[in-house]
């Protein structure tokens, strides 16, 4: 009986390691018609002091397009992204379509490296593709 408990413990630990390891850490995204997806274009970013400045244009339905921003931290052990979490969301609005939008994000610290991603979505739930990960770290302003 001791061998069975030992074997079960080893299987449990292997499952924990496999499920918590590095790699893609997000729920599957629904597929849809590429022509109907809202888009994010002209994405530019820069860090000024402790502020990440995102500049972009939303394209899509004249009924309205919004955006979602997710954030994660870089895992210091495996040097891979952690779990993405919703950081900010702007609901779809007609006035956001084809207008250059700027979003300022306070990084608050120079001790952590953050990753951000952004995508467009419309009023009926169509999701655009995620942007490439944007790496940002605040600057120590006391130096």
SS (H, E, C) 107-130: CCCCCCCEEEEEEEEECCCCECCC
Per-residue pLDDT band at 82 (split at 50, 70, 90): confident
Say if residue 66's pLDDT is above 60: yes
Instruction: Look at residue 143 in the predicted model and tell me its pLDDT.
Output: 57
Q: What is the mean pLDDT of residues 46-61?
A: 93
- How far apart are the two ends of the chain, measured CA to CA in Å? 62
CA 140 – CA 143 distance, rounded (Å): 6
Per residue in 83-126, pLDDT tens? 999 999 999 999 999 999 999 999 887 788 899 999 999 999 89
Per residue in 19-51, pLDDT tens? 555 555 555 555 555 556 899 999 999 998 889
Report CA-CA distances (Å) from 133 to 10, 39, 82, 125, 129. 36, 16, 12, 22, 12
Contact 90, 58 (CB under 8 A): no
**Higher-scoring residue by pLDDT: 14, 105:** 105
Say if residue 6's pLDDT is above 90: no
Per-residue pLDDT band at 74 (split at 50, 70, 90): confident
Instruction: Look at residue 94 in the predicted model and tell me its pLDDT.
Output: 92
Residue with tokens 């809202």: 38
Which secondary-structure segment (H or E) carries 101? strand 100-106
Instruction: Look at residue 113 in the predicted model and tell me its pLDDT.
Output: 87
Residues 33-136: name the CATH superfamily.
Answer: Immunoglobulins (2.60.40.10)
Q: Is the pTM of this model over 0.85?
A: no
CA 83 – CA 20 distance, rounded (Å): 10
């Amino acid at each position: 009986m001791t061998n069975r408990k030992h074997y079960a413990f080893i299987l449990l630990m292997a499952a924990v390691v496999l499920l918590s390891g590095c790699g893609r850490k997000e729920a599957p995204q629904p597929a849809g018609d590429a022509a109907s997806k809202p888009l994010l274009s002209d994405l530019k970013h820069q860090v000024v002091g402790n502020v990440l400045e995102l500049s972009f244009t939303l394209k899509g339905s004249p009924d309205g397009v919004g955006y979602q921003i997710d954030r994660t931290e870089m895992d210091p052990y495996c040097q891979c992204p952690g779990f993405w979490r919703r950081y900010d969301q702007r609901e779809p609005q007609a006035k956001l379509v084809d207008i250059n939008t700027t979003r300022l994000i306070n990084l608050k610290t120079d001790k952590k490296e953050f990753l951000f991603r952004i995508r467009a979505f419309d009023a009926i739930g169509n999701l655009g593709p995620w942007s490439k990960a944007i790496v940002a770290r605040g600057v120590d302003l006391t130096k």
